Amino acid sequence: MRLDELAGNLPLKQSLVHPERLPHAMLLCGSPGSGRHTLARLLAQAMVCDHPEDAPCGVCPNCRRVAEGVHPDVPQLSSFVSSKDKDKKAIVVDTIRALRTDVFIRPNQASRKVYIIAPAEEMNPNAQNALLKVLEDGPSYASFLLIADNPMALLPTIRSRCVVYRLAPVQTGEALPVLQRRFPDKSREELMLAADQSRGIIGQAIALLDGDSKEDETVISSVNRCVDALQQRSELALMEWAVWVQTDKISREQLSRTYALLRDRALDALAGRQTGAALAQWDAPWLSRLADLTRTGVDAMERNVSPAHSAGWFAVSAVLWQ
Ligand SMILES: [Zn+2]
């Protein structure tokens, strides 16, 4: 298959040989920005492409409609969300039931139907159980691509029905051609610096080069203090971090970003990625709890919990399972 649009990840790309041999349920994991959505789009295109020997060709009507998000046989998850559920963050059971009804309507323009479910861990347990039925008994023309940051947040029954593909951070040399295509006016040095700073996560390198994601000093300091405290397993150091958050009055966005970066590090360490993360010494259940805790932290910042309360809550929670 033609997957060169996805940077790096050579072993993964080599394992995806022909669109007709793709598993019917795939779970694409990796950090946000690691290329999961790009891979999902390329696989969806490949499955409906008019030229299976050279898929995804990127130019046939089927490939183009998938790229534009308007292919009737690759429907958007949002099209199954009812108006009463549209403000909910979680993917609820009614959404998956509506998707399941659609699955049994035969494809319209291609020979396959492809469903991309992202972020898959936003499915509540009822929704996951509803999806399970269709993963087990769905028609042979239907394929499912689940995208998740933390596959451990999915039910084991869902995970066991999917073939898991893990996106890895890429080397600077692998990132460079992708960044050069996207930013033809930037110097090689600028692109290399962005690739290095983003620890091989292409999406983050692109955000840095777009200039909308300059990490501020306060956030870097907050993450470093918190990682040090966790690393020392020191209750006192964790409480000191929380007090520092309270007294230095770091903003809601800065604390949210702190949680997000801690979560990235936990997920990197969970996946065995040695990308400078100081958390690699921890075991998987601990890292998984840290990933959950920081996700709750990000959610709390969106729900108007005060940063001071949230930092205190985080420190106490982390102390309890040291
Ligand atoms: Zn095509």
Taking only the tens place, the pLDDT of each residue in 157-211 is 999 999 999 999 898 889 999 899 889 988 888 888 888 878 888 888 888 888 7
Residue 214: per-residue pLDDT = 56
CA of 18 to the centre of ligand 1 (A): 13
CA of 69 to the centre of ligand 1 (A): 14
CA of 37 to the centre of ligand 1 (A): 18
CA of 70 to the centre of ligand 1 (A): 14
Q: What are the C-alpha distances in Å from 194 to residues 33, 178, 265?
A: 13, 12, 18
pLDDT tens, position by position, 242-271: 999 988 778 888 898 899 888 888 887 887
CA of 91 to the centre of ligand 1 (A): 30
Percent with pLDDT over 70 in the chain: 95
Burial of 120 (0-12, 13-18, 19+ CB in 10 A): buried
CA of 142 to the centre of ligand 1 (A): 18
Is residue 212's pLDDT more than 60? no
**What kind and span of H or E run contains 28?**
strand 25-29
Residue 195: per-residue pLDDT = 86
